[in-house]
Amino acid sequence: MAYSSKTPKLAYLSEQLLRPEHEIIAFRHHQPLLVGDLKQQVLLICHSLVHCPQKYWALSMQDSFNFVAGLLALLYLGKHPRLLDPCHQEMQHFYEAILTDDKTIYQNQYDNQQIIDINSLNSNNLTYDYNLLDNGFIQKTFTLFTSGSTGLPKPIEKSVSQLEQESLVLLSYWGELSSDLFVAAVSHEHMYGLTFKIMLALSCKIPFVCEKIIYQEQFTAYKHKKLIYITTPSIIKNLDDKLPAIKCDKVISSGGKLTYAEAQLCQHNFTVLPNEIYGSSETGIIAIRQQKQPDMPWQLFAPMHIKMEESQPALFFSPLLDKPQPLDDKIRLVNSRSFYLDGRLDKIIKISEKRVSLTYIENKFNQLNQVEQAYVIPLEHNNRTILGIIIKLNHSGQQQLQHEGTFKLSQYFRQSLKDTLSLSEMPKKWRFINDFPKNTQGKCTYIELKKLFEVTKMSKILPEEITLNINQHQADIELNIPPDLFWFKGHFVSQPLLPGVAQLNWVIYYAQKFFNANLALSSVEVIKFQCPILPEDHLLLHIEWNTQTQKLLFSYTFITPENINKVASSGKLTLCQ
């Protein structure tokens, strides 16, 4: 599509509450929410926060209309919004207070931060200060965070003006939008959802649907509307082409490349080819393509350009940025306006002062016959950096895992790559999983992957988990027994031994963790302690849960270089709820 010669008129963010009060901003459960409703919500939040001294607020809303109200209120008050998930402990130092509509926020531990739930604010007999809105935004910047694909999310400060300019670039490309409704499968808290679901909809005065629309069946209620659908490659790849087609004006996809076949699948299901957007949290939008034929290159948006220098990352220039931004992807230029993406640049970290490429390690594991996909991430362990690997096995690998178990399979992989990977490159912790955890953008990120290795607050009571293999009714957990465990204190002075009560405690803990959190010990039917467990022993705990009989079988087996499968203890428990 050619760029539009006519610049569309933009409704700026600071002017949204000046629109006629009867205009529709959004739909919540098919009920219209008006500009007047938004104005009252903003003023109510302002009234509740005006005397709060905190400057930096985590803005975490499940509902997109509430998100817009919270964002506007904080900007009007001169407080700095930070768009993040406050449940992640690693992120808690970025904010002083929380503004939310999510009651589950209260289930987490916070360092005395104030939490304001907008659903609990009382508007009875409240006199609104409309003069507050006449002064415009006192705060004109906010902070969002990278998705954290290769590490913890990083803060990125953006201005309201940058968001508005970005909408203008998009509208200059597409021309004036005349759709009825924006629907989205993505979160409004990340750059992609913020740009396309929130800012573009508000800029065009087109209502958005508050709820996420992920499944094709959810579109039934909107079949008579002219829709713009904001989605992700992971959702497009799983479309069911046997369901009736849904007519959309536009489908916008970002977060990864689509194959030509996947683009055609989207067209079959939504009657239009997807507009694929290439960009990042740091850069905003960069380029766009519609795959009308195979192997279509990306086209830069009009004001942007890319500079290439030998052996250096591509440098991206944009009027939306204060300075050029190096790109994390390998760029192959076709001409000054178009290019191909040839994969990610290497992810490099330092371990023991040596540069290690996580990309290289992942590629070596992905070449193994049993591996469908592997991710390698850095972990902090005893004040040093080690590598953890998360592996999704293919059918052949799953069969080998069932036959050999987690320890033997990880040893097999270590042996297969011992001549390819150095000692510092070989992962120290392993997880075998059925599928990769994803965030609200459909991305597999560092925080989600790191959770698979997290040490709990009971780290002095529980052993160290190395590998896990879990299905519906059984689990294998490879364990290291640290010498500083609580259980060894006084048991005994001359030779520390792991008490039987600790072994039972762990069995029940893992049964609750993997099968049902409400399970409790009813009785011990059979238990045999055959060999003592000592500090620094290496064990495999196998548990099997029978839901019908409420019986739990368990065994602790020593893992040794000789693989002699020596049993430390075993038994059968009856559990109840």
Instruction: Kindly give, in sequence order, each residue whose CB lies less than 8 Å from that of residue 113, ignoring residues fewer than 6 positions away.
Output: 58, 86, 92, 95, 96, 97, 98
Q: Is 106 exposed, middle or buried (0-12, 13-18, 19+ CB in 10 A)?
A: exposed
CA distance linking residue 365 with residue 362, whole number of Å: 5
Q: Please determine, looking at this structure, whether the domain spanning 22-139 carries the CATH number 3.30.43.10.
A: no
Query: How far apart (Å, rounded) are the C-alpha atoms in residues 332 and 245?
Result: 36
Cross-strand partners of 384: 381
Q: Is the dihedral of CA 519, 522, 526, 531 positive or negative?
A: positive
CA distances (Å), origin 315, targets 93, 161, 387: 31, 23, 30
pLDDT at 440: 61
Q: How many CB atoms lie within 10 A of CB 190?
A: 24
Whole-model pTM over 0.75: no
Residue 304 in contact with residue 318, Cβ under 8 Å? yes
Q: Are 247 and 223 in contact (CB under 8 A)?
A: yes
Contact 43, 129 (CB under 8 A): yes
How many Å apart are CA 435 and CA 398, to the nearest integer?
12
Tell me the mean pLDDT per 10 residues along the chain, length 577: 59 92 95 95 92 93 96 96 84 90 73 83 74 86 79 86 95 92 93 95 96 90 92 91 92 92 96 95 94 94 90 90 90 93 78 78 93 90 83 90 82 90 88 78 76 60 79 86 82 83 90 82 87 90 90 91 81 87
Given the structure tokens 């052996």, which residue do they identify?
311
> Hey, what CATH topology would domain 158-302 get?
Rossmann fold (3.40.50)
Asked whether the beta carbons of 30 and 221 are under 8 A apart, the reply is yes
DSSP string covering 292-324: SSSSPPEEE-TT-EEE--TTS--EEE-TTSSS-
Q: How far apart are CA 252 and CA 290, in angstroms?
A: 10
Query: What is the domain partition of the chain in residue ranges?
Result: 22-139, 158-302, 346-437, 455-577
What is the spatial distance between Cα 263 and Cα 266, in angstroms, rounded to a whole number? 5
Report the pLDDT value the prediction gives residue 570, as an integer from 0 to 100.
93
Q: Do domains 22-139 and 158-302 have the same CATH topology?
A: yes
Give me the amino acid identity at 17.
L
- Confidence (pLDDT) at 352: 64
CATH architecture of the domain with residue range 346-437: 2-Layer Sandwich (3.30)
d(CA 323, CA 464): 45
CATH topology of domain 455-577: Thiol Ester Dehydrase; Chain A (3.10.129)
Q: Measuring CA to CA, how many Å separate 281 from each of 147, 184, 230, 278, 508?
A: 8, 18, 16, 11, 43
b/e sequence 341-376, b meaning 16+ C-beta within 10 Å:
beeebebebebeeeebebeebbebbeebebbeebbb
What confidence score (pLDDT) does residue 458 get? 43
